[in-house]
Structure 1
Amino acid sequence: MITDTAPPPQFTHAQIRTIMLGVALAMFLATLDQTIIATALPAVAQDLGGWDEMAWVVTAYLIASTVTTPIYGRLSDLYGRRPVLLVCVCIFVAGSILAALSQSMPWLIAARVVQGLGGGGLRSVAIAVVSDILPPRERGKYQGYLSVTFATANVVGPVLGGVLSDSLSWHYIFWINLPLGALAFGMTWHQLRRLPLPKGKPVIDWLGAALILASTTPLLLGISAVQRTGSWTSPDSLAGFGIGIGFLVALILWEQRAPEPMLPIRLFANSVFALGSLVTLLTSIVMLALILIIPLHYQLLLGLPPGEAGVRLIAMTVGTVAGSFVAGQIITITGRTRIFPIAGCAMATLACALLAMLGLGHSLPVDLGLTLLLGLSFGGQMSPMTVALQNALDPRDAGIGLSCMMFFRLMGGAFGTAALIALLVGRLGDAGFGNGLALFQPHLRASMPPDQVRGMAAALAAAFAHVYWVSAGIMATATLAAFAIREIPLRAK
């Protein structure tokens, strides 16, 4: 049984910067591989065949990396951050090699599962390392750097995947992970040696780990089925949700009695953790869904090519990076975190409402201003929420607590993307366009009568407005939850 850890060593600013570089690189690798494949999928499918299995190349990594996130967090509490992070880097690089050598679509999908098994730990343990090397008062600016890394990888991924696929080969989107992974391994091996290891013999809650996998995997498969079919009531969706919820109930019942639970239910008795997790979940539902929906709005309603639509999203990325960086610096100076999720959620509510009322495409400055406001609102609360949760948790639960936060962020993104896109398609169906978004492709509109095109455009604009109003409602709920979070002074040690 784990008893305690030795007092953490003191690190110099130079050592902290080196550690943070390695940690940020690990997080960048895991996040990048969730999005880098997107623009290379057509080339992959053409080379390997199996167009009908193409979506599983993305889904396999998403599921494997998400369901293992809380497990790795708990293992790092039991065995220490460094050994777990090193194992995760090795698994991730091994999966990348298998993916680069793929000769068939099933081979690539299996390799993506291996990549995801490593990627889940890269993200969760990387965040927990910050709690080991810095007191809460100093964590804000460094968590800001990790939030910047997370946001940058989400946006750079599709661009880099397209460039490598076009100029070299899709295989290189996986080969590029080898030098980056080796660098992350070297930095972790050298710089984290001074971190103390937990004392005593760890007790692993294997049944809890199995129930986490058994509950979250069907839920993610159900969400994937919603994205694929556009229906929440399809047999695949209902089966996934039903099985997942059943195992979730079993997980909660077991973890309440387990001697060393893999997912300590006591965490949710901490109001800061419970409310912070809710705010994280709701914010992620909207943020990651709008990252996909806003470019879709530009392409389908305005007829912009994918490249130009992606460029217009840069304002949102810049806002996310700037908001996270500035918030982190202010936290370090003031020691206050509560105001940021309140202000961020309120700003996001306003931005979504303005999108619903004004739409996109009337004016480039207005479009950039609205998306910049969205980015600032999301970025300004990511690192403060992470710091607040770290500060509120017992040090022995730092790894699993932060992994749960990352888990809620990933689950929120997956659920929100499926839910809001399904809502968009459903509104089009209610307006008489039963074939959904396929009708709105530019090459099909060119052959239609002008009156029909205007009717379709009006229906599409109304459908997007409805999605933005729903997003505003979700963020308003997050604002209320953020108001209920109490301020706990940040520890200086």
Structure 2
Amino acid sequence: MATEKTPANQREIQWRFWSIFAALCLLSLIASIDVSIVTTALPTITRAIGGELQYVWIANSYPLASTVPQPLYAQVSNIVGRRNPLLVAVSLFALGSGIAGGATNPGMLIAGRVVQGLGTGGIYVLSAIVISDLVPLRQRSQYVSIMFLMATVGGAVGPLVGGAFAERDWRWVFYMNVPASGVALVVIFFALKENSSGDSIRNVLARVDLLGNAILIPSAVAILLGAVLGGVVYPWSSYHIIVPLVLGALGWALFHVHQAFCKEPSVPPHLFRNRTTVSTYGMSFVAYMLTQVSSYFLPVYFMAVANASPIRAGVDCLIYSVVVPVSAVFAGGFVTYSGIYRPLFWSGFALQAVGYGLLSTLDGTYSQARSFGFEALAACGTGIVIPALSPAILSPLAESDVASANGVYSFLRSFAFVWGITIASVIFNGQFKTHGGQISDEAVRAKLVDGAAYTFASGGYISQLPQITSEQVMGVYAKALAAVWQASIAFSCLGFLLGLVVKHVPLRKTLETNEESGDSSATKQTEDV
């Protein structure tokens, strides 16, 4: 609860609160830029230092490393506080950026991306936890939606920034993170205050669920490796893919068994004992998975079917990148002022289903108005759902569960990013192979099947083909993309059904926090309401 403050103290607390929030927004921006920035810069980078054979590892080491440590970060922050783990995470991100920027060989670049990812995982989960510490649950969604806005902007501008740096000096793709991280470090160091636990390092290590994380981290890595390499490096039927997926699934099951008997688990089993939290975790996975499907396959439509250049396709996809965060800000405000979140799930997933259904009707006859309108509907549905997820997850839980619950939420979000690309790619490649017989030119057909169609969507390859062949290829692309959008309809309907299971729990208007800046003016205003 907020205590009485003098005007001077209120001004200091307000300054600290907004400084911390600005630093978290900056971190969300640069971390999200780094996810997508290499998509346009990577060919230049690999030509400069070699690494064509390590292309998959260079691209995927970052998301892999950022996903697996998130539950560990959450538990450690419960034991030692949020400030020091966040400082460590930002420092790792800056260090990894410096290593990657100075890379002289593929191994050094991959190592830098791994260190970057380990820092980003902490930034993701700890940013959500710090906001939860500083803002009451009723008001939290509007701040989360603003941070999501920054992350979406970062993901949208990343390829453009990467392309610009690639033309001049690719090393600044990574070096630019260092000064931005330095600013965030200084702000967090001076503005974020908390009461120290006073535990020794030995006591802290004794409380950390080391065995649980030793089971979870390699299990998650095995599953993610199978998802990333399947159909790209090895066929899905290969033992190289089946073995890690099976071992990872068994390890994940063993982890949850261990958590049931662990004295201080990193993922407490009671988080999954109420239908609202469990259902919302499921909706979170679906919602974030669909954002990746759209982000990766809308450009394919514009390049392969609408015959747009990569830059023009990026501009066309800005509709999605703009509508999602704008609708999220409005949805976050709705949750803050009404305290209601369930209708956002129903309306959001319904809009997604309609949008993806309309996208599935697009064929080789390109219409800018139709494609932009359908894209905007799906994006609006996504933006409506996302700000309501965190409040629904936390509403039935105690404040003491904030860190672990946010850790699971953040982990599932990153996990969904990988699986969104994987599931959609499997469907796309399979359907392209099924309909590939419609391409009369055997050489062209052989070049595009078996996973190569995604790569050849850009670069002007299709437009250089003879007209009849080009039309046939565009028709096959349209059919394969239609199957991706139809699968997205099914996942949207699953999200809608999960939303029906959610029970309304009133959102708390007050806050008890260990953070000294938790008694922010924003918090006090909410309490007064």
Does the 8 Å contact 1:361/1:367 carry over to 2? Answer: no
State the Cα distance separating 1:365 from its structure 2 match.
2.0
1:189 aligns with 2:218: no
Does the 8 Å contact 1:82/1:188 carry over to 2? Answer: yes
Distance in structure 2 (CA, Å) of the matches to 1:42 and 1:265: 44
Q: How does 1:9-88 map to 2 (within 5 A)?
A: 12-88=13-89
1:397 aligns with 2:414: no
Aligned length: 486
State the Cα distance separating 1:102 from its structure 2 match.
0.7
- Structure 1 residue runs without a partner (length 5+): 1-5
Report the counterpart of residue 320 of structure 1 in structure 2.
324
State the Cα distance separating 1:360 from its structure 2 match.
7.6
Distance in structure 1 (CA, Å) of the matches to 2:28 and 2:359: 31
State the Cα distance separating 1:355 from its structure 2 match.
0.5
Does the 8 Å contact 2:65/2:118 carry over to 1? Answer: yes
Report the counterpart of residue 177 of structure 2 in structure 1.
177
Q: How does 1:104-183 map to 2 (within 5 A)?
A: 104-167=105-168, 169-183=169-183
State the Cα distance separating 1:179 from its structure 2 match.
1.0
Report the counterpart of residue 340 of structure 1 in structure 2.
344
One of 276, 281, 305 as aligned partner of 2:280: 276
Does the 8 Å contact 2:319/2:372 carry over to 1? Answer: yes
State the Cα distance separating 1:450 from its structure 2 match.
3.5
The one-letter code matched in structure 1 to 2:182 is A
> Which is higher, the Rg of structure 1 or of structure 2?
2
Does the 8 Å contact 1:297/1:360 carry over to 2? Answer: no
Distance in structure 2 (CA, Å) of the matches to 1:126 and 1:473: 32
Distance in structure 2 (CA, Å) of the matches to 1:91 and 1:360: 47
Does the 8 Å contact 1:96/1:178 carry over to 2? Answer: yes
The one-letter code matched in structure 2 to 1:268 is F
Does the 8 Å contact 1:40/1:161 carry over to 2? Answer: yes
State the Cα distance separating 1:140 from its structure 2 match.
1.9
Residues 312-350 of structure 1: per-residue CA shift (max 9 Å, x gap): 011111111111110111111111111112211111011
Report the counterpart of residue 98 of structure 1 in structure 2.
99
Q: Which moved more, 1:50-59 or 1:116-125?
A: 50-59
Report the counterpart of residue 3 of structure 1 in structure 2.
none
Distance in structure 2 (CA, Å) of the matches to 1:287 and 1:298: 17
- Structure 2 residue runs without a partner (length 5+): 438-444, 511-529
1:362 aligns with 2:363: no
TM-score w.r.t. structure 1 length?
0.94
Aligned to 1:137, the other structure's residue is in SS state: helix
The one-letter code matched in structure 1 to 2:213 is A
Report the counterpart of residue 471 of structure 1 in structure 2.
488
Does the 8 Å contact 2:309/2:460 carry over to 1? Answer: no
Distance in structure 1 (CA, Å) of the matches to 2:226 and 2:64: 11
1:223 aligns with 2:261: no
1:460 aligns with 2:477: yes
The one-letter code matched in structure 2 to 1:15 is R
Does the 8 Å contact 1:64/1:117 carry over to 2? Answer: yes
Report the counterpart of residue 251 of structure 2 in structure 1.
247
Report the counterpart of residue 301 of structure 2 in structure 1.
297
Q: Which moved more, 1:454-463 or 1:131-140?
A: 454-463
Check 1:439–1:100 CA distance in 2 against 1; reply closer, same or farther (3 A cut): closer
The one-letter code matched in structure 1 to 2:502 is I
The one-letter code matched in structure 2 to 1:106 is G
Does the 8 Å contact 2:353/2:492 carry over to 1? Answer: yes
Distance in structure 2 (CA, Å) of the matches to 1:183 and 1:448: 50
Q: Which moved more, 1:121-130 or 1:18-27?
A: 18-27
Q: Which moved more, 1:453-462 or 1:88-97?
A: 453-462
Check 1:218–1:141 CA distance in 2 against 1; reply closer, same or farther (3 A cut): same
Report the counterpart of residue 486 of structure 1 in structure 2.
503
Distance in structure 2 (CA, Å) of the matches to 1:231 and 1:467: 20
State the Cα distance separating 1:14 from its structure 2 match.
3.9
Distance in structure 2 (CA, Å) of the matches to 1:7 and 1:85: 24
Report the counterpart of residue 527 of structure 2 in structure 1.
none
Check 1:196–1:13 CA distance in 2 against 1; reply closer, same or farther (3 A cut): same
Distance in structure 2 (CA, Å) of the matches to 1:136 and 1:333: 12
| Pairwise CA RMSD | 2.1
Does the 8 Å contact 2:307/2:463 carry over to 1? Answer: no
The one-letter code matched in structure 1 to 2:16 is Q
State the Cα distance separating 1:230 from its structure 2 match.
7.7
State the Cα distance separating 1:109 from its structure 2 match.
0.3
Q: Which moved more, 1:347-356 or 1:70-79?
A: 70-79
Does the 8 Å contact 1:227/1:422 carry over to 2? Answer: yes
Distance in structure 1 (CA, Å) of the matches to 2:155 and 2:262: 37
Q: Percent identity?
A: 24
Report the counterpart of residue 330 of structure 1 in structure 2.
334
The one-letter code matched in structure 2 to 1:43 is T
Q: Which moved more, 1:224-233 or 1:179-188?
A: 224-233
Q: Which moved more, 1:364-373 or 1:407-416?
A: 364-373
One of 410, 415, 421 as aligned partner of 1:411: 415
Aligned to 1:489, the other structure's residue is in SS state: coil
Distance in structure 2 (CA, Å) of the matches to 1:131 and 1:158: 31
Q: Which moved more, 1:182-191 or 1:24-33?
A: 24-33
Check 1:219–1:141 CA distance in 2 against 1; reply closer, same or farther (3 A cut): same
Check 1:133–1:150 CA distance in 2 against 1; reply closer, same or farther (3 A cut): same
Does the 8 Å contact 1:289/1:417 carry over to 2? Answer: yes
Distance in structure 2 (CA, Å) of the matches to 1:75 and 1:484: 32
Q: Which moved more, 1:440-449 or 1:114-123?
A: 440-449
The one-letter code matched in structure 2 to 1:45 is T
Distance in structure 2 (CA, Å) of the matches to 1:386 and 1:285: 16
State the Cα distance separating 1:422 from its structure 2 match.
1.9
Check 1:252–1:297 CA distance in 2 against 1; reply closer, same or farther (3 A cut): same
Q: Which moved more, 1:223-232 or 1:262-271?
A: 223-232
TM-score w.r.t. structure 2 length?
0.88
Report the counterpart of residue 513 of structure 2 in structure 1.
none
The one-letter code matched in structure 2 to 1:317 is S
Residues 25-54 of structure 1: per-residue CA shift (max 9 Å, x gap): 222232221111211101110110121112
Distance in structure 2 (CA, Å) of the matches to 1:441 and 1:313: 14
